[in-house]
Structure 1
């Protein structure tokens, strides 16, 4: 991703610099309802308008993606809650096994727990 950034940024910077150097002639910028006029190089209002359009577009995009960011935060908090619940269940299972071992009983672990620990499915008898 970083390489793609530089592949785009370097030529774009060069093009903007060439545009600015080639368009240095003065032009008058006036804001119509106000009695305000200013002489600027031609590239300043052109690049200023492009920058303003970019900022407006970024603002609208940020506002429109707000619901997706909110949903993402909600899903992240749900994932965190589920991971904590899973870890608590594992701790309870470990505590139960430890207490059964201390009592001298063989640990009672269901087939699903064994399958989860070994990451394999329970072995099926042949011919079934």
Structure 2
């Protein structure tokens, strides 16, 4: 399975390099549309190869998707954290009760009361 994964990654890298070399022509990337740029006073333009625009768009999409998923799953992380704290609290309570039972050397309070009640008759 590891070999298949490495083979897939090598083929993907080759495809990306081929796409990048086929799209080396420079393009002009502008931050804001013309009217908005003159109105806001921010006018940024860069000349970059076309593959940088494509790969940058894919990378930006991935980052936005990861962030969106992290936000969406926050309620599940909160719930899991709450359950871990509750389980730890219950484990401490169980340990305390087991230690108390060992301290009583197997004497059960309920049985002691029953024995006491039957011995008075």
Same fold (TM over 0.5): yes
Flag the 1:5–1:28 CA change in 2: closer, same or farther, 3 A.
same
Q: Which residue of 1 aligns with 2:59?
A: 51
The structural deviation recorded for 1:55 is 1.1
Q: Which residue of 1 aligns with 2:15?
A: 15
Q: Could you give the per-residue CA deviations for residues 42-84 of structure 1, whole angstroms, max 9, x where no partner exists?
A: 1111111111111111111111111111000000000101111
For the aligned residues, what is the CA RMSD?
Answer: 2.5
- TM-score, normalised relative to structure 1: 0.64
The answer to whether residue 68 in structure 2 is matched with residue 89 in structure 1 is no
CA–CA separation in structure 1 for the residues paired with 2:86 and 2:11: 44
Q: Of residues 37, 50, 68 in structure 1, which corresponds to 2:45?
A: 37
CA–CA separation in structure 2 for the residues paired with 1:5 and 1:69: 30
5+ residue gaps, structure 1, are: 98-106, 110-128
Q: Which moved more, 1:75-84 or 1:9-18?
A: 9-18
Return the structure number with greater helix share: 2
Which structure exhibits the higher relative contact order, with contacts defined as CA atoms closer than 8 Å and separated by 6 or more residues?
A: 2
Q: Which residue of 1 aligns with 2:84?
A: 76
